[in-house]
Structure 1
Amino acid sequence: MNKLTVRVADWHADNADLRRIREAVFIVEQGVPPELEWDADDVDAVHFLAFEGDFAVGASRLLPDGQIGRVSVLKDWRGLHIGELLMQATIAEAERRDLKQQKLTAQAHAVRFYERLGFRVASEEFLEAGIPHVEMVRDSA
């Protein structure tokens, strides 16, 4: 396995990789309708890409209000801590921007993953795109 890295992505320059990953994970694998996956927030978000060598295998985004989302890792690369690397980079950028609280909408099966990163559940379970989710928040130190 090549070295795993995460970097800030450019929505325009890196659009093909961002779309390839999110389409594979959310639209194809999880059945999220494309009109729910793509939104106007993408233009103003800070995007992140995770790479194995020079191949993009994961993505996430940070909105100006501290909302983290679209955390996705291609199926064949799961279990290699890529999601954790993406989240660490995203949280670090939020803190660098002095966003005292980070928020996210977690799929219910991923709650423990986010709890390990300092998030806590802040809502009852609800359905989003037909998938059980909960709101979670993390306060910066």
Structure 2
Amino acid sequence: MEKSELAQVSCRGSDGRPLTVVTFQFSETVATPNGPRRRPGAFRLELATGEEVRRIDRDCFEVIATGELVMTAPDPGPAASITEEAADIPLCHQEELVRQENRLREAERAGKASSGVSGQAASSSSAGPKNS
């Protein structure tokens, strides 16, 4: 089995130190009637130091041995103008916060809807249709 480097991603550790996540792919060369062929295999993510890493989402990795979350380094420039508070929160945690906020909003709407429905039903039943 051969191990080939495919990509490097600049990241930062939870304490802000610079890290590099490297993507490798295993492959083997097999003999065929038409000559040798490279057969691609599994991918592996690891830090440049050799520690194994797994992908959490597009911008977040986890060092398997320690559980540390490693974030991709933001691109400098106008496109990376995320609020400063959000920039310090890993994307995987930002998504969970959004889900929690959505659940709270749905619960509030459900509470208002149940109190509003009974009030509307009472007013519409007392008014009734007009017969002229």
* Fold agreement, TM-score > 0.5: no
Higher relative contact order at CA 8 Å, sep ≥6: structure 1 or structure 2?
1
- Larger Rg belongs to: 2
- Structure 1-normalised TM-score? 0.28
